[in-house]
Amino acid sequence: MPEISRFLGIVIYMYFSDHNPPHFHIRYNEYDGIISIETLKVLEGNLPQKIINLVQEWAKEHKSELQQNWDTLQTSGEYHKIKPLV
């Protein structure tokens, strides 16, 4: 479960060989969730709305990097860290 980014207590990660649609996982304290890379909509989870908004803002800025990480994790297992929300 590679950690892709971390900011404001929020951890963003992806799994190797995960199921479609392309998505990323979020952990924040006792909350967790899954967000679609394409639509940036919450697919699963119980995240507070404030955290969802922050993650969606970050993901919008890094959508192509997220998709690239998804693609390479599924094929070669490689990934790169993405800058945190500033």
DSSP string, 23-66: EEEEEETTEEEEEETTT--EEEE---HHHHHHHHHHHHHTHHHH
Residue ranges of the chain whose pLDDT lies below 70: none
> Domain span at residue 24?
3-75
Residue 24 has a pLDDT of 98
**The total number of structural domains that make up the chain:** 1
Put simply, whether the predicted model's pTM sits higher than 0.85 gets the answer yes
What amino acid is encoded at 61 in this protein?
E
The answer to whether residue 86 is domain-embedded is no
Residue 61 has a pLDDT of 97
The answer to whether residue 85 is domain-embedded is no
Q: CA geometry: angle at 33 spanning 5 and 31, to 5°?
A: 90
The answer to whether residue 80 is domain-embedded is no
